[in-house]
Amino acid sequence: MRIALFEPDIPQNTGNILRLGACMGVPVDIIEPCGFPLSDRGLKRAGLDYLAIAAMRRFDSWEIYLRELPTSARLILMTTASAEPFQDFTFSEHDVLLMGRESAGVPQNVHDRADARLFIPMAEGARSLNVSSACAMVTGEALRQLGAFPPLLVSV
């Protein structure tokens, strides 16, 4: 399983997601262009020292990302424009959890390419969660379903 960020806008969210990926053993793909330089201070502050152990790959564009995507991968788009709740979906080990831009989500061609589109149920009147919070929720559910959380480290 992988996480993919489509043209992220906010360095702190990207840093949080890279930290999540490092802690959970889930690689993160960043599909550019980003709305900030990947050397941004906010990214480093949010990612702390976990950026050094995060498995991150950068792609210059959506088209390049699609060309390099394994044929076994399913693109699972998180979007408010869906009718399928994420907790009812059956995840697989080859899934790519795709998160859109904080400011605009993803364009229609990305929606059209997704193998599944999922949403997170929210209280009435709420529009959306922070992308890093949404990513953590969905990644946690996928890892739970797959029995793929990192092993417990017991210290004596």
pLDDT in tens, 92-121: 999 999 999 999 999 999 999 999 999 999
Residues in CB range of 27: below 8 A, 6 or more apart: 2, 3, 21, 55, 56, 57
| Dist. CA 47–CA 49, nearest whole Å | 6
Superfamily per CATH, domain 2-146: SPOUT methyltransferase, trefoil knot domain (3.40.1280.10)
Alpha helices in 48-130 (DSSP H): 62-68, 108-113
pTM comes to: 0.93
**DSSP state letter for 87:** G
Taking only the tens place, the pLDDT of each residue in 67-96 is: 999 999 999 999 999 999 999 999 999 999
The domains of the chain are located at: 2-146
Which residues are registered as beta bridge partners of 98?
4, 77
Mean pLDDT, to the nearest integer, of 1-5? 98
Please state, rounded to an integer, the average pLDDT across all residues of the chain.
93
pLDDT of the residue at 39 = 77
- Is the distance from CB of 39 to CB of 14 less than 8 angstroms? no
